[in-house]
Amino acid sequence: MAVEKRYASDVEAILSHRHDNGADLWTTPDKRLIKGAPFSTLESVMYLLELGMEPTEPLLKEASELIFSTWQEDGRFKLYPQGAVYPCQTIHAANVLCHMGYVSDVRLQKTLQHLLDIQYTDGGWRCDKFSFGRGPETEYSNPFPTLNALNTFRFTEYLNKEPALDKAVDFLLEHWTIRKPIGPCHYGIGTLFMQVEYPFRNYNLFIYAYVLSFYNRAKEDRRFLEALETLESKMVDGQIVVERVVPKLAGLSFCKKGKTSEMATIRYHEILRNLQTKK
């Protein structure tokens, strides 16, 4: 897949921000790969992949080398030069690299094992960072990092074979029932969650249904099917309508707020294909 001509201006717009943070490839001189949202290194790479840029393109090859340069021997990715290394950061980096086709890289294989080793008791992934204080709700894992972890593992041989991932799926399906904000970062299922956001950046209905559709554990579950039905109820003429997009991405043609998106609809059809197959 290559970038279609009609999306060339979107690619140019994303590339125009590659030095915004003081260094090349959307990063800072000290390699803060998640600084500068929505044009951080990790996010910008994902936009370009979504638009059809091949991972073998020199630009993305350089970006992959930059991301791997933050890999640690224990499998974690250190996306900031100082401070704690949180699971959500490692998951984010691993997710991008898996999307780029590096799942077989020995470093990433070590990262995947590390993530399985640190999985929390409820089946999700959890950072010991309590920005909102502590309470009963913070004893849960963080739903969005958990969803991102499943988005990572869907590229691996663990997909639909590893019981630990079934536990992660169960955790996320249960959140559909709980609804309230849970985890140290207070991820909830409310008004914002129900707004279809594209491209995939935050915890919302669209990415929730998309990622879970890869897992047999979810495919026939009532809670997943309710989420999918809710997503489908928002479609217009069989097309996904973008209900929410971060303002700085509003100028991009592939994700216009209030408009149908062909690229987003492609992801919806991927959900449907996933439901027709069991791996």
Per-residue pLDDT tens over the stretch 15-49: 999 999 999 999 999 999 999 999 999 999 999 99
> Which among 41, 53, 58 has a CA at the least distance from the CA of 8?
53
Q: What is the DSSP string of 177-237?
A: HH-S-BTTTTB--SHHHHS-BSSS-SS-HHHHHHHHTT-HHHHT-HHHHHHHHHHHHT-BT
pLDDT of residue 132: 62
What tens digit of pLDDT does each residue of 59-106 get?
A: 999 999 999 999 999 999 999 988 889 999 999 999 999 999 999 999
Distance between CA atoms of residues 139 and 159, nearest Å: 27
Do residues 211 and 150 touch, judged by C-beta distance below 8 A? yes
Interval 127-159: pLDDT, tens: 877 666 677 788 999 999 999 999 999 999 999
Q: What mean pLDDT comes out for the span 201-227?
A: 98
